[in-house]
A and B are shown apart, each in its own frame.
Chain A
Amino acid sequence: MSDTIAGIIDEKGKVRSGAVVPEIGRDDLIRLYRAMLLNRRVDERMLTLQRQGRISFYVGAAGEEGAIIGSAFAMQDKDWLIPCYREAGAAFLRGYSLTDFTNQLFGNSEDKIRGKQMPCHWASRELRLASVSSPVGSQIPHANGFGLAAKFTGRKEVALVYFGDGATSEGDFHVACNIAGVYKAPVVFFCRNNQWAISVPVEVQTASETFAIKAKAYGIEGVQVDGNDVLAVFQVTAEAAERARKGEGATLIEAITYRQGAHTSSDDPRAYRSEDEVAVWKKKDPIDRFRLFLVDQGHWSAGQDKKLEGELNEEIQTAVRAAEKLGPPDIKTVFEDVFEEMPWHLREQLDELNETLDSEVE
């Protein structure tokens, strides 16, 4: 491990020499582990459902759970999380229910956003989870909006925005980093450097030595962290959030991790990368590593692990069974949720639809 990359536990789950384990109680450590494992098992189940034609699309996070959940854990409930699209684990940790998540995947009548988004494009105002925004990097400047709004109104809230290594090549990334630097926005820019932007490898994404080093040009902090080390990710994110909260400005965190699976259910990584490369990174798996750490520290056992797996499986099956039984949202919801008051042209279309539906009933 390079001196400049923050790390606490190694690939065997041992504490690195000289590293200080952050003070996190056992319950919280288990909570972290549970969220990571839930994230992994949900991904596996949902990808299978997609292959069976039961949901139309899915984005998994396998290999990146440490980066996603460690960072979310460092934030307070009043802070906003602005997702990219791979951060369901962060939402679960916040309390976003598996039921809500699954209903959204099926776009059924209980879906909170009533089938108006692709699967995996969840949102929750109550939990301060901004809507997943697929266009690459478009969510990064939103973080400044959340952050600066809090700053100007005197609320001690921080915004954390997730994006991938590919998004750093977008103009939005530059714009957001620059504004955050100039106005000392209380923002954490969290770059999941998972080595691949769909099929574009990190080598051709940037000529910079690292992604974190780009922070220097904007006058903000930049740090690299072992993204597969959930505790190290927690540590650097907590420090970044603390700086932001104290009015000391933004931080760009580069979490070095790996996307073990496909970009989405529509992608086939075997077309552009080697199985050997994947195998190397699987040995650095964040969940395996954290489990070893917990066992090593006396917090966890194989028996408990087996029990947890059973619980998670039951939880997932229950959510899927329930979600799949529900029909689609009422057709009339198509006209709702966009305008506060329905404009005349939608009113006309709705009336026409009602007439058609009535005549079909007769």
Chain B
Amino acid sequence: MAYEFKLPDIGEGVVEGEIVHWLVATGDTVDEDQPMVEVMTDKATVEIPSPVKGTVTKTVGGEGDIIAVGATLVVIDVGEMGSADIPEPKYAKGAGGPADESRKAGAPAKKAGGGGGALATPAVRNVARTRGIDLSKVTGSGPGGRITKDDLDQFVKTDAVAAAVGQAEPEASIERIPYRGLRRKIGAHLSLSKRSAVHYTYVEEVDVTSLVELRDSLRVRGYDHLNYLPFVLKAVVAGLKKFPLVNSTLDEEKEEILLKKVYHLGIATATEQGLLVPVVRDVDKKSLLQLSSDIERLIAGARDGKSKLEDLKGSTFTVTSLGRMGGLVATPVINYPEVAILGVHRIEKRPVVRENAVVIRDMMNLSLSADHRVVDGWVAAEFIHYVMRFLESPGLLLLSGEE
């Protein structure tokens, strides 16, 4: 009768073991309790003794192979012995998946998060399991190649996305687009921001009826290119001057907050290739018309792919104009290492209450995301309310800088 000896759980809850050394070979006779093989698990390297006497007819796996708990390790011919005489190990049941398989050490583990020889703390393994990441495919950056949570983030950002998509759908129903170039740069930049900055978003509603009237009156006088953005930039700069923390960056290494004394505002711009942020320099020193022509030139350059490198560098704060479809509320991602970003929503007529009467006014929402490590909620609120004053009463812009 052939007796199949399956690898038992030789630690408390191990799922697999690596064959270190065979002590018997096919054709050998074994006695009860004679050591057959040395197996290494997460916990210990141990000799596995045979529970029966007989002749080895098969050994599964070579030295260095990983065997799952519950997989057959050795087959022993026990001769005339009946099954009633053979002990039935209770702790040789696999944790799941096909048991009768072995694989080379270092090869991908079957179970996500298992990772075989991959070094990772239980917490990281748990994250990997939850997110379906195969640890054996992740390169560890920690001491001795240990995999950290950051490594998992990095991994997900790059290879894993394509792989996950590939697994979810049959091949024919997918078009594969390389995640490269600008797309990948945007991804890396924004995930760095999300990983580093403590994002929160503050939303306010502004009554821009006066601003709309002002712009309309300027347009009929021939300034038809002038839109609202230059006014917003001017109002923002007034706010940044009043609340310097909002115009800063955080140097984590030196543990310093750098307050910027220049006001270069990035304008988040959708292009065919993806999001670009051309920079309007020295907003504080420019007139509305100068700003208008700068914005026009920079946005056109970005859309035509003609931006110069310096046009895309050095912003101290970013404005993202959410345009005509701009929704009510957004949670913009900060243009790292800046500490805040302002989302400007569409202007529309809404019923509002003024002096106990419902009236129709031109209204606009502002969504400010800030990095809580530098800008506390009350600073953000005060900043927004200060900016709002200039948008509600654009005449104040004539006085800005004189306060």
Contacts and interface: CB of A to CB of B under 8 A. Distances in A.
B44 A262 contact: yes
Contacts of B288: none
A56 B51 CA distance: 15
A267 B11 CA distance: 8
B49 A48 contact: yes
A2 interface: no
Q: In terms of DSSP, what is the predominant structure of the interface of chain B?
A: loop
A53 B46 contact: no
A271 B91 CA distance: 25
Interface string A256-271: 0000001001111011
A188 B122 CA distance: 40
B9 interface: yes
A92 B51 CA distance: 26
A51 B50 CA distance: 9
B362 interface: no
Given A48-B33, A324-B87, A53 B45 contact: no
A267 to B, nearest CB: 6
Interface in B1-49: 5-12, 33, 43-49
A56 B9 contact: yes
Contacts of A53: 6-10, 89-92
A54 interface: yes
Interface residues of B, number: 23
Nearest to A45: B33
Contacts of A267: 43-44
A197 interface: no
Given A48-B33, A266-B11, A266-B12, A54 B90 contact: yes
Given A51-B49, A53-B90, A266 B33 contact: no
A50 B43 contact: no
A262 B12 CA distance: 14
Interface in A41-59: 48, 50-57
A279 to B, nearest CB: 19
Contacts of A55: 90-91
A57 B49 CA distance: 15
A6 B274 CA distance: 82
Interface of A: 48, 50-57, 262, 265-268, 270-271, 324
24 contacts: A48-B33, A48-B49, A51-B8, A51-B10, A51-B46, A51-B47, A51-B48, A52-B89, A53-B6, A53-B8, A53-B9, A53-B91, A54-B89, A54-B90, A55-B90, A55-B91, A56-B90, A262-B44, A265-B11, A266-B12, A266-B44, A268-B43, A268-B44, A324-B87
Considering the complex of A and B, which 5 residue pairs feature the smallest CB-CB distances, nearest first?
Answer: A53-B8, A268-B44, A53-B89, A53-B92, A53-B91
Interface of B: 5-12, 33, 43-51, 87, 89-92
Given A53-B8, A54-B8, 10 more contacts: A52-B87, A53-B6, A54-B87, A54-B89, A56-B9, A266-B44, A267-B44, A268-B43, A270-B45, A324-B87
